[in-house]
Amino acid sequence: MTTEVETAPGAAPPGGGGISVVGVTKRFPGVVANHDVNLTIRPGTVHALIGENGAGKSTLMKILYGVQKPDEGQILVDDKPVSFHSPTDAIKTGIGMVFQHFMLADNLTVLENVVLGAEGRFGIGDRAREEIRRISDDFGFDLDPDQLLEKLGVGQRQRVEILKVLYRGARTIILDEPTAVLVPQEVDALFANLRELRDSGRTILFISHKLDEVLAIADDITVMRRGETVGEADPKTATKHQLAEMMVGAELPSPETEESTVTTTRMLELAGVSLVDDGGRYLLRDIDLAIHRGEVLGVAGVEGNGQAELVETIMGIRKATVGTVSLADQDLTRWPTRRRREAGIGFIPEDRHRHALVLDAPLWENRLLGHQTSPALNRRGFLRRRAAKAETSRIVEAYDVRTPSINTHARALSGGNQQKLIVGREMSGDPILVIAAHPTRGVDVGAQAAIWEHIKNARREGLAVLLISADLDELIGLSDRIQVILRGELVGEFDPSTVTPQQLGSAMTGGRGDRS
């Protein structure tokens, strides 16, 4: 709001963009989300902000982006105090934000997505196209303004998001966990882009809890814990261990698994499964796969290479075009989802808000979801509400779901606690196979460790587990075998005890990533 919005097309962006946060406190009724937060972001640097989920990073981010106003303290941009009433003010001051969940429309082109809401800058026609090309070339984004968004991969989408904020004239870019959705090679590409941005004089605030990445990219590191900034670290000298201790006050848990419990009894078997879409395109091609009792099979792959379709085919949400799916020697290729669940498949979907919860229903009703037909929870078509509530209480207790009550709406819980509830629910009802798709995505370190523990327990108790994850450390740590999926085909099997994330990464991209 202090600077002029319009910069001439093609003009070099102004430098600067250093931000100081001085003594910011934000209270919500009953809780202090930020307490005396101090942060100095030097202009032209990559500054990492790390901390567990719930450490107050989001609140600070929202304050910097004008979504919320601080109760106390000050924000200085280029040493001038500013006060934001809305994100529009923040954008005018040159602060842009890239959210973890992309805010893009699939059915629009890159150009249309970028100009949406910023039509006033360069119009919506050739001038805008020119500007997008210029930004894309300057930073090596390699984006075609007229490409449809739905054709783009995750890494490209992220670059569109970054382009969006640059297009709006941002000098400071806040990135919220940008690597959560990327494979190692894409992370490298992103970091290359970020370095270019830094070299052009822009300032980047990088929010993450992946310590390796923070050490690789950051010039400065600030650690948050329980709503306070607890310290700063120099990435040149700091170790992962030190950062972890600052973050959680303890060593990070690791997903290491113990001695093998694999048996020779086949639980899940896919034979020659292909899935063809309406346009004749193969989403899955000739998948052969078996998971045994007590075995965790990991599936690695760049997102969008058929993992979701594989899961949906096993769950019966999609029906295999050819091939058979069987569970414990029963052919369930033509069974509907409900019957498959009754046969003992537990399902932890990748997007818990979309596929695993009814957010505006109480926890105990969410306990029923997917188990509506279980005799423990319904009698002759009538729900056994008392049993469902007792069951929910048990899960809340056993899986350490932090909630004031089982009548609380699912929406009110944090991501980690929602996920623990889902894991608890899917482990109930004696499943013989559990499908876990990105089970620890977006949950804090504590919940992550708990979920890993539950998966290990399940394996020990003789369940078969299909684990799909983008976190290669998680895959390597938990799996007994790892299969790599690429363009709907299983292209290789690896032994987690010998494979490195780099090898997996290169198999996931079809060998193109060998250079690392």
Partner 1 sequence: MNAGTVVLKVGQAVLAPLIALAFAVVVTSVIVSVAGSSVSEFWEVMLEPPSKRSWVNILNQTSMLFLAGMAAAIAFRMNLFNIGIEGQYLLASYCAAVVAGAALLPGKLNVAAAVVVAMVVGAVWAGIAGVLKVTRGVSEVISTIMLNAIALTLVGWLLNQYGDSAGQGRRTTPIPESSRLDGFSFFGYFAQADGRVWTLSFVAIVVGVVLAVVINRTRFGFDLRATGSNDEAAVASGVGIKKMVVVAMLLSGGVAGLIWLPAFFGDGYYYGTPFQSNLGFTGLAVALLGRNRPIGVAVGALLFAWLSVQANPLQLFADISPSIVQVTQGVVVLAVVAAYEVVRRFGVAQEQRSIRKALQRTGRLEEGAAT
Residues that bind partner 1 (CB under 8 A): 28-31, 315, 317, 336-342, 347, 349, 354-361, 365, 368-373, 378, 381-383, 385, 402-405, 407-409, 411-413
Q: How far is the CB of 365 from partner 1 (least distance, A)?
A: 7
The answer to whether 223 and 47 are in contact (CB under 8 A) is: no
CB-nearer residue toward partner 1: 182 or 363: 363
The nearest distance, CB 275 to partner 1, in angstroms, is: 16
Our CB check for partner 1 shows the closer of 125 and 336 to be: 336
Nearer to partner 1, 145 or 416 (CB): 416
CB of 383 to partner 1, least distance (A): 6
Shortest reach from residue 337's CB to partner 1, in Å:
4
Distance in Å, CB of 37 to partner 1, minimum: 18
Closest listed residue to residue 258, CA positions, set 33, 456, 92? 456
Least separation, in Å, of the C-beta of 312 and partner 1? 9
Say which amino acid occupies 113.
Answer: N
Least Å distance, CB 17 to partner 1, is: 33
The one-letter code for the residue type at 332 is: L
Q: Are 443 and 54 a contacting pair, CB within 8 Å?
A: no
> What DSSP element (H or E) covers 268?
strand 266-276
**Pick 154 or 317: Cβ nearer partner 1:** 317
Shortest gap between Cβ of 349 and partner 1 (angstroms)? Answer: 6
Give the three-state DSSP class for 515: helix
CB under 8 Å to 385, separation ≥6 — which residues?
Answer: 364
Beta bridge partners of 80: 77
The answer to whether the Cα torsion of 416, 417, 422, 427 is positive or negative is positive
Q: Which of 410, 270, 402 is nearest to 353 (CA)?
A: 410
DSSP classification of residue 399 = T
31-41 β-sheet, strand order? 31-41, 19-28, 72-77, 80-82
Q: Which two tokens stand for residue 188?
A: 């490298």
Task: Provide the edge-to-edge strand list for the sheet that holds 322-327.
Answer: 282-292, 266-276, 322-327, 330-331
Min. distance of Cβ 71 from partner 1 in angstroms?
A: 15
In this complex, which beta carbon is closest to partner 1, that of residue 29 or of residue 280? 29
CA distance 129 to 140: 16
Question: How many whole angstroms separate alpha carbon 217 and alpha carbon 201?
Answer: 16
Q: How many CB atoms lie within 10 A of CB 336?
A: 12
| Residue with smaller CB distance to partner 1, 8 or 31 | 31
Residue 21 or 348 having the CB closest to partner 1: 348
Angle between helices 415-427 and 385-398 (to 10 degrees): 120
Q: How far is the CB of 405 from partner 1 (least distance, A)?
A: 7
**Alpha-carbon dihedral 151, 153, 156, 160, rounded to 10 degrees:** 60
CB of 355 to partner 1, least distance (A): 4
User: Of 303 and 426, which has the nearer Cβ to partner 1?
Assistant: 426
Q: CB-wise, 236 or 380, nearer to partner 1?
A: 380
DSSP H stretches of helix in 375-414: 385-398
Q: Which residues pair with 379 in a beta bridge?
A: 382
Residue corresponding to tokens 């990492």:
48
Q: Which is nearer to partner 1, 233 or 283 (by Cβ)? A: 283
Nearer to partner 1, 28 or 74 (CB): 28
Q: What is the DSSP letter of 512?
A: G
